[in-house]
């Protein structure tokens, strides 16, 4: 069965954005060891799962960067990988290698049963919260930035029991905490 992994930026106090969606606190200049970690995380990925709002920002940026910087392997991987964008009102996708869907639980369960490599999620708070609440994630990779927001938006709306499977520190000050959700089976 395919794994669905979440990679998300968070502050030390657990927020994924400011109260108005601000992301100015996210460290953009990653060090070489963190870039390698992200590459290793995404290498086995053949499908990217996105919420509509983030897709409208990330996909054009990946395409632009891949076209502008021919040697940017990460941008090329992101631009060329199959993407599924979830939206309440799915329509025809604007981008190559991209389809749209709206039934989150049903579609993710089908994707996990299909053959292929791992899948990775990039998303905003509400979208990721829905994945967590429905028990759809297999790994959670929290990229903890050296910033404290005091208040903001979180992906954890309800109780979530997790098992820590890895901690990684990087020269630029980011710490990655990797968890698996504990399942009641």
pTM for this model (two decimals): 0.92
Full 3-state SS string of 20-68: CCCCCCCCCCCCHHHHHHHHHHHCCEEEEEEEHHHHHHHHHHHHHHHHH
**For 103-154, what is each residue's pLDDT tens digit?**
999 999 999 999 999 999 998 888 999 999 999 999 999 999 999 999 999 9
Q: Which H or E run contains 131?
A: helix 125-133
The confidence score (pLDDT) of residue 69 equals: 80
The mean pLDDT of the chain is: 92
DSSP summary character for residue 60: H
Which residues neighbour 64 within 8 Å (Cβ) at sequence distance 6 or greater? Answer: none
With a cut of 70, say whether residue 185 has pLDDT above it. Answer: no
């Amino acid at each position: 069965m395919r794994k669905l992994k979440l990679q998300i930026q968070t502050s030390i106090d657990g927020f994924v954005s400011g109260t108005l969606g601000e992301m100015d606190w996210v460290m953009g200049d990653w060090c070489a060891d963190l870039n390698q970690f992200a590459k290793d995380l995404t290498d086995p990925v053949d499908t990217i799962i996105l919420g509509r709002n983030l897709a409208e920002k990330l996909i054009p940026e990946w395409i632009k960067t891949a076209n502008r910087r021919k040697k940017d392997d990460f941008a090329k991987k992101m631009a060329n990988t199959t993407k599924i964008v979830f939206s309440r009102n799915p329509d025809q996708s604007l981008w190559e290698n991209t389809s749209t869907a709206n039934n989150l639980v049903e579609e993710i369960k089908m994707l996990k049963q299909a053959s292929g490599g791992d899948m990775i999620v990039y998303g905003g708070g509400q979208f990721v919260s829905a994945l967590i609440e429905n028990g759809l994630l297999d790994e959670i990779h929290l990229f903890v930035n050296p910033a404290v927001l005091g208040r903001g938006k979180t992906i954890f709306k309800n109780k979530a029991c997790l098992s820590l499977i890895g901690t990684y520190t990087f020269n630029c000050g980011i710490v990655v905490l990797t968890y698996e959700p504990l399942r009641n089976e």
